Amino acid sequence: MSEAMLILTNLPDAASARALAQQLVERKLAACVNIMPAVQSVYRWQGAVEQASEVTVLIKSVSNRYAELESAIRAVHPYELPEIIALPIVAGLPAYLNWITAETQKDVNV
**Residues 74-95: pLDDT tens digits?**
999 999 999 999 999 999 999 9
Closest CA to 88 of 30, 7, 20, 1: 7
Q: What is the pLDDT of residues 31-90, one digit of tens each?
A: 999 999 999 999 999 999 999 999 999 999 999 999 999 999 999 999 999 999 999 999
pLDDT for the residue 85: 98
Q: Which residues contact 24 (CB under 8 A, 6 or more apart)?
A: 30, 33, 59, 61, 69, 72, 73
Cα–Cα dist 8/58, whole Å: 5
The answer to whether residues 31 and 60 touch, using CB atoms and an 8 Å cutoff, is yes
What is the Cα–Cα distance from 62 to 66, expressed in whole angstroms? 7
Q: Enumerate domains of the chain plus CATH numbers.
A: 4-103 (3.30.70.120)
Q: What is the pLDDT of residue 1?
A: 62
Rounded to whole angstroms, the Cα distance separating 93 from 72 reads 28
pLDDT at 84: 98
Contacts of 93 (CB under 8 A, 6+ apart): none
Q: Is the Cβ–Cβ distance between 79 and 20 less than 8 Å?
A: no
In the predicted structure, residue 108 carries a pLDDT above the cut 90: no
